[in-house]
Structure 1
Amino acid sequence: MRVPGDIVQRRGDSSKRQVVIVLVVAALVVLILSLRGIAVFYTDYLWFRSINLSVVWRNTLFAKLELAGAFTVGFFVLSLISLTIADKMQTQVPPVDANKDELVARYGQSKERHPRLLRVLASLVAALIVGSGASAQWKSFILFQHSVPFHKVDPQFHMDYSFFVFKLPFLMFLVRWSFLALVIIFILTTGLYYLNGNIRSQGRAPRVSPKVKAHMSVLLALLAIVKAYGYYLQRFQLDTSTSGYVEGAAYTDVHALLPALTLLVFISLGAGVLFVINIRRQGWVLPLIGLGLWAFLSLVLGAIYPAIIQQFVVQPAQGTKELPYIARNIEATRYGMSLENVQTQNYNASQNISGQGIRAYAKTLAGVRLWDASVALPTFDKLQDIRSYYHFNSLAVDDYSIDGTKTPIILGIRQLNSSNLPSQSWVNLHLQYTHGYGAVVAPANKVNSDGNPNFLLANLPPSAQSGAPSLTQPQVYYSLNNPGYVIANSRQPEIDYQVPSGLSVETHYAGSGGVRLSSTLIKAAFALRYGDINILISSLVDTNSRLMLRRDIQVEAQDAAPFLKFGSNPYPVIANGSIYWVQNAYTTTSQLPYGQAADVSNLSPSSGLNAYFNYVRNSVKVVTNAYTGQMTFYVSDPRDPIIRAYEAEFPGVFKPMSQMSQALRSHMRYPEDLFVVQSTMYGKYHVTNASNFYSAGSAWTLSPNPGNGSPSAALSQTVTTNAAGFPVSSQISAMPPLYEQLTLPNSDEPHFGIVEAFVPISQTQVQQNLTAVMVGLSDGGTNQRLVSLVTPSGEQIDGPGLAAARITAQTAISQEISLLDQHGSQVQLGSLMIVPLGQNLMYVRPLYVASTQNQLPEIKQVIVVYGTQVAMEPTLAGALNDIFGVNIPGVQGYNQVAAASQGNGSSTSQSVPVTPVAGEKSSSVISKAANLYLQAQAALKSGNLALYQQDIDAIGALLGVNNSSTSSTTSTTLPG
């Protein structure tokens, strides 16, 4: 016969076994579901170790764990203390009838069995929710720990910028988190008081016991103290206010909101004192007075009073009241956008070069870029892809020394096109077709007789002409938009390229890129990460194989340094026999006192700078080896306090620019995204006088885009669509910046820089006359500088939009374009290049023709605009000859024009404005005659009768040649 106690004990043992089984099964399920996450975590660590950036992985992880752990534990302890006090505080009145409140009854039963379980579980769950989110503040935490002085003081509170950039963001987070944590603890505590009967919803006895009121008063006092500190910090946040005419603490902020916040600090502390006093009094009167006064004065002082000051004091006299704060904003913004040291030069942009005088600019004209990287991409693809599994993702403009001469070039990297392999088998995708091969280089200022690029480095196997950059490591494992993974150095040979006989030239990877699959554990981890069992079981994968998991250089850099922002235009460089990718990385903040937020409306959508910031530095150049994937982070702006803070957190990651090879350093160009932001801001912030800034009469804007592509298109526009895809608004888009080789006024040597044009700000951009030209130069990457060429105020000088309009307004040119743009051919206008010639200005634009069925753009004409004169010829030399009447050695097409001139018995040294070429088309002659006529009219108005007669004689000679060289008489009507 069983003893009842034995039965109870066995039932208890059985129940415990069931609980253990359930817990074990639950743990196994969680483990299985977490296996992939664990694999990703482990393989990420392996990847960081493979690129020698373990310190970034480790310190970032520790920062997140420190924050999550500290805030979770902090909340748990505070909550548990408060709930323990509430649980231990027993009411002195009869308990509530359990039949009338089932929840209270169940809590009472549970408390008898597990007296601590509920408050521990409630605190733990809430702590995990509230505390774990703190890990997202790891960047602010790192900067808070490694604050570096700016040695610049804000004008309102006279504190170093470092407090606002490094300290204030994390302190404000602490305030927000503490307030939220106390509110949640207050709610949990109140709920527990209800469950244990200290707060009752019915009965004659008091609903809330005095001890509960005392406890709540303590929590409310803590909330008041936290809020007071929050008001104190909000005073400093006024330095980034957006309520004034410009950003920063304006008149209303300084004279109304700042005193209000200071007063609210004392009001909050006073409310806290009332809550502390109520700990003894244990009533409702003092808490209600404190809360009511706090809420009322917050509304009046923080919202109503500032609104009255803004409406009735500032608005009627804004131009006077805001001037001191505008001056502060101008100074801070110029510092934040690195516009303090823009070199300003006067630039006449005139048109007074003589025929012989143009020869002095032969070096500049010889370097004029004709090929557009975007337009030439289909040409490079058609002519140099060679195989379907290769393609050019993009082309870059750069300058190289070709046979001892600095030459603008177009450079393309032949990348792997994994979506177009002969077969999409696993072996093909991941083992055999693992990389691209080689590069293609063509001078950007040269065009073959058939209108195609003159390739210096091209073909497979690679062939190089004299002067081409040397390339000894042509395999490209890391490149742009390169998704997925490959396994290099497996037992399967990897294809470099195929020779005409159909045989493949193969290789085995010998570099250090990727993670070595040295163990079954590592293989299994990657198989879990990608859900691909072949990584684990394939006999072609051995312990020397290397899995490359991040082959897109942009993804690789962003994952390796998530604390930096990256530009949208990585570009390749051939140096020391290898291919490298260069990316510009930026440090930014939105906390610079009085700094204006950057206008990013003209940035590429893919730019990492599409964010809110008022301080930016191109602090880092990231150089990635295309063969190994190894990244090197070079500090290009060691004065930047933010990058110095990250250097302190991640020792050994960053290197000085002095350690970069000279071959690489010579190709560090001015970053495009930074230049776009700076140019956009400089349009307003070149004005340093606060009164002039407010009136905006001297403000500039970027020139309207003269448009690339179809010549019939108007100025390029940016169209905004709604969620359904329908256009809701449009505006004329800004001219994109252009990389080109140019010679600045007062300089003899050409530089490779980036160029942008300004026009006056006007409604619907009616004003398109040139006000300035901005140039960004980078001398070896360490000396980035901006130069502003400012045209005379009040003079009409054609901007890019007007120059483009002059092209289409020339009847002869329009007719010829129309003839080319038909019968299966399509005309595309290239970029309008701005060419300074001393104190003179010229525009050059290539004209492409491509088949509408099979795009292969070829340069067929070159258009030159010089003042009111426009010429279009098959070569740049020919167009210059049309305008200036001389042939210029070294310029594209010089040999063709010189030969034609010699064949016609004319001399290139003649001073007549135009030397006609026998057999020219009538449209070209008409264009020349029209330009000469305009010159003659200008000479007549100026009283220069000798020059007027010379131009008229030239017109007569030109028309005489035309009549004698055609079978029928051509009637020509000159404009006028």
Structure 2
Amino acid sequence: MPWRRTAVAAAVIVTCLIVLDIVLDLVVDWTWFSALGYADVFWTVLRTKALLFLTVFGTTAIIIGWNGWLASRFAKLETGRFLELARGTGYPQTSAGVPDIVLRRLPLVLLSAAVILGALLAVWAMTNWGVLLRFVYQVPDGQRDPVFGNDVSFYLFLLPAYLALRNWMLLTLSLSVLSAGTVYWVRGHIELDGHRRVMSRTAIAHGSALLGVFFAVKAWSYALDRYLLLYGDNGVVVGASYTDVHVGLPVLWLLMGLAVIAAVVSWTNVSVRTYKLPLVAAALVFGSAFVLGEVFPVLFERLVVKPNELELEKPYIQQNITLTRQAYNLHRITTRAFPVEQSLTSASIQTNQATIDNIRLWDEQPLMATYRQLQEIRTYYKFGDVDVDRYWLDGAYRQVMLSARELASNLLPANAQTWVNRHVLFTHGNGVIMSPVTRKSAEGLPVFYLGDIPPIATGGPPVREPRIYYGELTDTYVLVQGSTPEFDYPKGKENVYAPYGGNGGVPVGSAARRVLFAWYFSDPNILISSYATAESRVMFRRTIKERVETIAPFLRLDHNPYPVVSDGRLFWVQDAYTTSDYFPYAVPYDGGGGLNYIRNSVKVVVDAYNGSVDLYLADPSDPIATTYQRIFPGLFKAFAALPPDLQRHIRYPEDLFLIQARTYGAYHMEAPEVFYNREDLWQFPRQPTDGGSGTMAPYYMIMRLPGEPAAENILMLPMVPSQRENMIAWLAARCDPPHYGEMIVFEFSKDKLVYGPFQIEARINQNTAISQQLSLWNQLGSRVIRGNLHVIPIENSILYVSPLYLRASTGQIPELKRVIAAYGDQVVMEETLPQALAALFPEPVHASQQAGAPSRDVTVRPKADRAREALSHYQQAMERLKAGDWQGFGAELDQLRIVLERSSAATGER
């Protein structure tokens, strides 16, 4: 019939288009991987996926098709006998009312079904390509689990493969039963009505054979379930508990035996061909599984374990603690005592000047708002986020905040959203903005070490190649080295244009390549535009995360890649993790998708101009990373090959620190009794937010750790006891070589009260002078923005510093106006950090030039001078009040308060 021919032709055309699309996508992927030098990675993954697809497709289709074919053949041989038997039972003598055309087409239907189902399972199996590669190239870990004595690599690499194989076997078996059962039903060998069920002896024999295979697979499944006991959680123990080891494990051995017996009974029934034997076998296995596997352990737990829980579970709690600490590298955290003292003096401040000079007064959100207002220059430029790093500048170790100025072509005016603008002319961002964390201008704005376009270095590192073709916001493809220069940067009323001179992107080359990319991007302009030439290159997958994930999809990426200025060029550094869900006895991280093992084993560097991606192996002791190194021999470089200047910008990643700190909150308790009682749980401090309160985030800072000779970059976070606000410890991760990666927890004495961040915030709010000033500002057309409170350990004391910003109700630029500092029972608010420290420590302090204040000695002035200055501010305030200048009135009152506080500090009356 014509409609049949049309349908077949349409199906063939659709299939060809799908195959063509897949092939062309693979060709584009190959060109992209080859341009980056990772063609071997592409071919390794492709070969593995193809092997899995063909193996699973062929095996699944053969098994399903073979069972359908056997059912069809046996059904034909036995149809007459079964229908003759059915006549005496009153059952229908037809083939389930199925039309003859279906019976005639049944072999084709079976073949089609086998092919389609095999393809679907094969596509699913392709997602396990990493499981297969890790299985083949596994590297031993060297430590063993405490229950079965297996190397941990068995759980990381072998067990996931066995579970995937088991799932495939059960799915294939289920589909085979469905295929054979359908055939027997169509052929009339299975008759169903509301009262009776009848099956032919042939159907019973075939079903018994498949049931025997099912029980054999089930026996192996019970064997695998033994190892899954190591991931259980009864609320007390994560991992195998007392009940699991003494009840669950013997029960699984028993169920394995029963499943083997059931398989033998089922296969025996191939000859006997009765209903009873399979039913008895199934009832025996599943009934025992319910009673022994579900009911009995619950009763045992309730009647035997609960009354003696701590005594019985103690060794298993210890195993949970030990292996969890290993899984998250918590066992490498060293503990030091931190005897909190109130011993800071001006001399201490001067001795720790490197720490003082790097106290962060700029928070990310206010600084981002300022960057956008002052440095985006044009509407199509955009700053993604603000990052924190450190540089040696003018002989000093400085912490800075910086952000890359990327180009977002979607922000062009609506009438400029043309194909040429989005893909040919506006192709890249330009430069980074950099400012010190502490300094401010006289107007309360950041001081720029790097700024403007092209970037001008004013105390910051010079940038010779500022163009950013690859970043966090570059999500569209662009054509470079075309027939026209690209927009480079604005210059007054004119624009500067320049050609791309790097080797990034994929060569467009011949007309065939242009057709290929036009198909891939669904954009015929690539084919017909005169801007694309034989020398052109197409850049795509330009975001850092997409770029790295495409090359190494088996790595989990940190949420925040950060820019680095090195040797006059711009790079992105991306931290990458190896993770697993199968580390035995380790607690899963809440919110981590089931992960219970993590290492920051890979550091990735992406060139912002050329887009080159280099992966450096930072932790050769990680068995997962070394396994991937065996799988992809050319993928990872030795960490020593990372250029020395870039090594100085490697930092401990925040995501890993958060996971470790949250886990350490419970697993710093190494004694099973203490852990069982949860009597020493730690948590992150609270901090006020606009909507109430939130959790304090870790922060980078440069400081001199107690007992260390020099200041260094660390990532730190205070810790407080559960349900309490006082600080109990602080956790630090060291970022600088040769101590990179070392973690230290500084514990306070439990008999001494140390104010936590939330308590200090409360003291600030309770300070009458500060609260009145904040209320006054909020009433004078400004909005007060409270910055994050930072805990600053100095020697054996704790200093608290928080910035305060003002934003006009009609303005968009927050200005750093005050610095609040607290020490002991004292809380002060001053214009600059040196003034705040002078108020807290009134002895002479030689403060370096920072926070916009010139270098000076804070000394005690004569009383007469202070009195005249106070009277002057008072008189000016009254003049402002008479003139109706409320803002000026508030400013003069603020200056009067500062003079009075200094006078009080100088006379020792504070």
With structure 1 as the length reference, what TM-score do the two structures score? 0.85
Kindly provide the amino acid, as one letter, of the partner of residue 691 in structure 1: E
Structure 2 CA distance for partners of 1:694 and 1:371, relative to 1, 3 Å = same
Match of 1:390 among 381, 393, 417: 381
Distance 1:917 1:898, change over 3 A: farther
What is the match of residue 816 of structure 1? 773
Q: Which one of 653, 671, 687 corresponds to residue 671 of structure 1?
A: 653
Shift of 1:27: 2.0
Q: Secondary structure of 1:513's match?
A: coil
| Matched residue type, 1:235 | R
The answer as to whether partners of 2:455 and 2:466 remain within 8 angstroms in 1 is no
Aligned counterpart, 1:889: 847
Aligned residue type for 2:654: E
**Amino acid in the other structure paired with 1:484:** T
Residues 391 and 399 in structure 2, CA contact (< 8 A), matched pair in contact too: yes
Say if 1:282 and 1:511 are closer, same or farther in 2 by CA, change over 3 A.
Answer: same
Q: How does 1:380-779 map to 2 (within 5 A)?
A: 380-422=371-413, 423-466=416-459, 468-500=460-492, 502-600=493-591, 610-707=592-689, 714=692, 716=693, 733-762=694-723, 767-779=724-736
Q: How does 1:182-261 map to 2 (within 5 A)?
A: 182-200=173-191, 207-261=198-252
Structure 1: runs of 5+ lacking an equivalent: 1-14, 601-609, 717-732, 908-914, 933-950, 956-973
Are 1:860 and 2:834 an aligned pair?
no
State how far apart, in whole Å, the 2-side matches of 1:434 and 1:131 are: 41
Correspondence for 1:898: 856
Between the aligned partners of 1:492 and 1:895, the Cα distance in structure 2 is 49
- Deviation at residue 353 of structure 1 after TM alignment: 2.0
| Contact 1:365-1:891 at 8 Å conserved across structures | no
RMSD over aligned Cα atoms: 2.8
**Kept in 1: contact 2:441–2:852 (CA 8 A):** no
CA contact (8 A) 1:877 1:894 kept: no
Deviation at 1:329, TM superposition (A): 0.6
The aligned residue for residue 850 of structure 1 is: 807
User: What is residue 6 of structure 1 aligned with on the other side?
Assistant: none
Q: Equivalents in 1 of 2:105, 2:356: separation in Å?
A: 89
2:148 is paired with a residue whose SS is coil
CA–CA separation in structure 1 for the residues paired with 2:746 and 2:857 = 38
CA separation of 1:921/1:479 partners in 2, compared to 1, >3 Å: closer, same or farther?
A: same
Mapped partners of 2:241, 2:800: distance in 1: 44
In the comparison of the two structures, how many residue pairs are matched?
876
Counterpart of 2:750 in 1: which secondary structure? Answer: coil
Find the partner of 1:142 among 105, 109, 133: 133
> Partners in 1 of 2:372 and 2:429 — Cα distance?
14
Structural mapping, 1:906-917, within 5 Å: none
Distance 2:860 2:586 in 1: 63
Cα contact 2:406–2:430 (8 A) shared by 1: yes
Contact 1:396–1:412 (8 Å) recurs in 2: yes
Give yes or no for contact 1:494–1:508 (8 Å, CA) kept in 2.
yes
Structure 2: gaps of 5 or more residues: 874-893
Letter aligned with residue 675 of structure 1: F
What is residue 316 of structure 2 aligned with on the other side?
325
d(CA) in 1 for partners of 2:544, 2:717: 28
**How far apart, CA to CA, are the structure 2 residues paired with 1:327 and 1:36?**
55
| 1:689 CA displacement | 0.4
Task: Say which SS state the counterpart of residue 487 (structure 1) adopts.
Answer: strand
Distance 1:801 1:139 in 2: 46
CA distance in 2, matches of 1:391, 1:901: 45
Structure 2 residue 908 is the aligned partner of structure 1 residue 954: yes
Change beyond 3 A, Cα 1:812–1:179 = same
Distance change (3 Å), C-alpha of 1:375 and 1:87: same
Distance 1:55 1:797, change over 3 A: same
Residue 343 (structure 1) aligned with residue 325 (structure 2)? no
Task: Name 1:940's counterpart in structure 2.
Answer: none
Given that residues 363 and 890 in structure 1 are in contact (C-alpha distance below 8 angstroms), is that contact kept between their aligned partners in structure 2? Answer: no
Residue 784 of structure 1 aligns to a residue in which SS? coil
Contact 1:164 1:592 in 2 (8 A): yes
Aligned residue in 1 for 2:49: 64
Whichever residue aligns with residue 628 of structure 1, its letter is: N
CA 1:279–1:425 in structure 2 vs 1: closer, same or farther (change >3 Å)? closer
Is 63-72 or 425-434 further displaced after alignment?
63-72
Q: Does structure 1 residue 43 correspond to structure 2 residue 35?
A: no
**How far does residue 761 in structure 1 lie from its aligned partner after superposition?**
0.5
* Paired letter, 2:735: S
Query: Which AA in structure 1 matches 2:908?
Result: A
- Report if the CA contact (8 A) 1:632-1:654 is conserved: yes
Distance 1:642 1:107, change over 3 A: farther
Q: Which whole-Å deviations, capped at 9, do the CAs of 1:544-597 have from their partners, x for residues lacking one?
A: 111112121122222222111111111100012110111111111111110011
Q: Does residue 27 in structure 1 map to residue 12 in structure 2?
A: yes
Deviations 1:234-262 (A, max 9, x none): 00110011234131011221122111111
Aligned-residue offset at 1:462: 2.7
Residues 812 and 926 in structure 1, CA contact (< 8 A), matched pair in contact too: no
1:463-502 deviations in Å (ceiling 9; x for gaps): 2224x212111100111122222111111211111222x2
The aligned residue for residue 72 of structure 2 is 87
CA deviation after TM superposition for structure 1 residue 822, in Å: 3.2
* Alpha carbons of structure 1 residues 50 and 822: separation in structure 2 relative to 1, 3 Å: farther
2:51 corresponds to which letter in structure 1? E
Shift of 1:450: 1.9
Aligned with 2:750 (options 793, 797, 809):
793
Tell me the equivalent position of 1:723: none
Post-superposition Cα deviations, 1:76-101, rounded to whole Å, max 9, x if no partner, equal 22223323332332116164799957
Distance in structure 2 (CA, Å) of the matches to 1:840 and 1:795? 13
Select between 113-122 and 660-669 the one with higher mean Cα deviation.
113-122
Q: What secondary structure, in the 3-state scheme, does the structure 1 residue paired with 2:847 have?
A: coil
Q: 1:835 Cα deviation (Å)? A: 1.2
Mapped partners of 1:86, 1:895: distance in 2: 91
Instruction: Provide closer, same or farther for how the CA distance between residues 654 and 107 of structure 1 changes in structure 2, counting only shifts above 3 A.
Output: farther
Shift of 1:54: 2.1
Say if 1:264 and 1:403 are closer, same or farther in 2 by CA, change over 3 A. Answer: same
Q: Match of 1:495, as an amino acid?
A: F
- How far is 1:810 from its partner? 1.2
Tell me by how many angstroms 1:820 deviates: 2.5
Question: What pairs with 1:936-951 in structure 2 (closer than 5 Å)?
Answer: none
Q: Residue 303 of structure 2 corresponds to which residue in structure 1?
A: 312
In structure 2, what is the equivalent of residue 936 of structure 1?
Answer: none
- 1:383 deviation in Å? 1.4
Kept in 2, the 8 Å contact 1:665–1:781? The answer is no
Measure how far apart 1:895 and its partner are.
5.2
The residue matched to 1:298 in structure 2 has which SS? helix
| Contact persistence 1:107–1:195 (CA under 8 A) | no
CA gap of 1:828–1:267, structure 2 versus 1, over 3 A, is same
TM-score (norm 2): 0.91
Letter in 1 for 2:449: L
Distance in 2 (alpha carbons) for counterparts of 1:745 and 1:918: 45
The residue identity in structure 1 corresponding to 2:506 is V
| Distance in 2 (alpha carbons) for counterparts of 1:280 and 1:33 | 48
Counterpart CA distance in 2 for 1:125 and 1:107 is 23
